[in-house]
Each structure stands twice: as C-alpha cells, then as structure tokens.
A = this chain, B = another copy of it.
Amino acid sequence: MTFPTPDRPATIADVARAAGVSVPTVSRVLTGAARVSEERRRRVERAIAELGYRPSAAAQVLASRRSNTIAIVAANTSRYGYAEAIRGVEESARAAGFVVIIVVVESERDDDVRAAADAVLRQSVAGVVVLKFDPPGVAALKALEPAVPVVALSGIPEPGVPQAVLDESEAAAGLTEHLLGLGHRTVHHVRIPPSGKEDGRTTGWRSALQRNGSPIPSIEDVSWEITTAYEIGVRLARDPAVTAIFCGNDETAMGVIRGIHDTGLRVPADISVVGFDDHPLAAMFIPALTTARQDFAELGRHGTAQLLALLNGESPLALETVEPPIAIRESTAPPRRR
C-alpha cells in the first residue's frame, strides 16, 4: 500500500482509499456523471480536500476521450488586435472551464502551417479558435478544418466556416465618406498586411471611392514595422495631390502622421489622416485620431461562444456582424489649397 508523498501527487486511488470507497465512485463525484449517496459524496469531498487532490487532465482526456482544452491559433500574439482577441477568447474559455493553449503559426509556409496544425492535433483539444487576420491564419484554418472543431475570427465574412466577424468594410467606407464629405477630392490608402487578396478595410475604402466617383489612388503597403508607416508618411507628404489618408490601423496612422509632421506639414491642417481600431492611445495622440472602433476582445468572446455551441452540437449562433462605430476626433478637417 502506497501513500501520497510530496513527490507523488495524490491520485484518485489515494482519494478512494482515504474515503473508503471505490475509485469509480470518486470519479462519479468528480464528473457528476452519476448519482452518489450523500454520505459517500461527503466523504469523498473531504478526502479530496485533505489530500489536496487534483485530477490529472491527461488521464481524464485519455479515458474519457473528451478534452477541456481550447487552442488559439494565431500568427501573432502581441500586436494590438491579436492580443485583444486572444484576451477575449481566453476570458470566455476560462469562464466556461476550459484551459487555453496558444499555438503560433510563424508564416504561411507549408512547414510552419503543418507544425502548428500538428501541435494542435497532438494536444487533443476540444476545439480551436483561429485568428484569420492574415495569410498564416488563413492557411492554418485550412490545415485544421476537417480534423477538429474550428471557428475563425475574421474581419471579412466568408461562407462555409463557422466564424465570428467584425465587419470592417462598412466602417472603412464610412471613414472614407467622412473624408470625402469634408471636401477631399480623394483619399489615399495605406494598407496593412492583409489576410488574403484584400481585406475589408481596403474593400470598404475602394467602394466608397467608387460610389463617389472619386479617383482611386494606388495603394501604399506597410509592414508591421512602424518605421515603414513613418516613411510612407514622409513620402505622401511630399506629394501635393495627397490631402487625405486612410490608414489600415491606428498605429500605422500614428507613424504616418509622425512622418508628415517631420516633413514640416501639419495634420489635419495640411493633410487629414484616419486610423482604424480605436487603439487605446488613439484618443491620446496629438492630434487625436479619427478612427473606427473595433472590439477585438468582444470578437474573441463571440468566437468562443460560437465554438462552444458547435461543441454542444447546437446550431451555430447567428453570424452576428458588429459594425464598428466611427469616432471623429482631431486628425481630420477640410482640405486646404497648398
């Protein structure tokens, strides 16, 4: 007869022994799968508390073929939208009793995608939430798709996959129209790395321009490196045709504004700039950014809810697309002759 020692965590057998019941009985009070007499339940609970027993998740997964782990698959974990979405998923997953593992897809290269999919699949997760914000996310989604319950978090609706989406194109169009309404002849666009051929932000911008009959300037692409935004700001400031700029996100907008600023021009007096996301610092920036609020954490929560519904075999929740409200602040104004 062995006893739990500091080196050997208590097992279910230890608990059963201490409570004077059989192992399955302990299991029953643990899982609540079947009724246990009031008295034995009490004895078991006392033994659990005394021994500081914690069921082994690995053993439970193996025996029950059920998992309480959710994987978050993402190309990035620290950038604003990503981090917020992860926070939303984690919060709601934890509230539902799940543990979260985080799996990063480095790139859309086949080996990276496969490595991520392997990691997820080996962990026997209950389901996965993928941040389909970029090409690696899209690729990971494909690699995971049939093998495990998946929901995608995305900025652009797409049929087929269960998903939660934050509709970006409406807000992007709204922001563009705001600029046009101010009297700008057209609006230039600084695009952040997109999820596919094109994301909702760019799409909304273009369609607003088209509806308005405005010329469609060529797109400037930035990387996630903020200095690229800065350089584009400098470059655009030197082009007298540029009076209004729609940036793919707020960080980019700040970089662009700083670039314009270092060129001697002023925002919004000389050039208007809008961002996207309503980053916490957007309202603190000088000038405060006109932008569109994106609630990534809510997106994450919604995605988790979607996944849990899927796991329970419930009909997927209505694809609730939230339209982000626009915040008009200081970085936009009517154009002026230069």
Using CB atoms and an 8 Å cutoff, list the residues of chain A in contact with chain B.
Answer: 6, 9, 54-59, 61-62, 69, 77-78, 83-84, 86-87, 90-91, 94, 99-104, 118-119, 121-124, 146, 226, 230, 251, 254-255, 257-258, 261, 280-281, 283-286, 288, 297
Contacts and interface: CB of A to CB of B under 8 A. Distances in A.
Q: Which 10 residue pairs are nearest across A and B when measured between Cβ atoms?
A: A78-B83, A58-B61, A258-B284, A58-B58, A78-B87, A83-B83, A254-B284, A57-B122, A101-B101, A54-B122
Given A56-B124, A230-B284, A286-B286, A86 B78 contact: yes
A90 B77 contact: yes
Given A57-B123, A254-B285, A286-B286, 20 more contacts: A9-B121, A54-B122, A56-B122, A57-B122, A57-B124, A58-B62, A58-B124, A77-B86, A78-B83, A78-B86, A99-B101, A100-B102, A101-B101, A102-B102, A251-B284, A254-B284, A258-B285, A258-B288, A281-B281, A285-B286
Contacts of A101: 69, 99-102
Given A77-B83, A101-B101, A284-B230, A54 B121 contact: yes
Nearest to A297: B78
B286 A258 contact: yes
A87 B75 CA distance: 11
Nearest to A94: B104
Contacts of A254: 281, 284-285
17 contacts: A6-B146, A54-B118, A56-B62, A57-B58, A58-B124, A77-B90, A78-B83, A78-B86, A90-B102, A91-B104, A101-B102, A226-B281, A226-B283, A251-B281, A255-B284, A257-B286, A258-B286
A280 B56 contact: no
Given A226-B284, A254-B285, A286-B258, A99 B77 contact: no
Nearest to A68: B122
A90 B257 CA distance: 33
A122 B257 contact: no
A84 B94 contact: no
Contacts of A226: 280-281, 283-284
A255 B84 CA distance: 20
A269 to B, nearest CB: 14
Most chain B beta-carbon neighbours within 10 Å: one of A56, A58, A251: A58
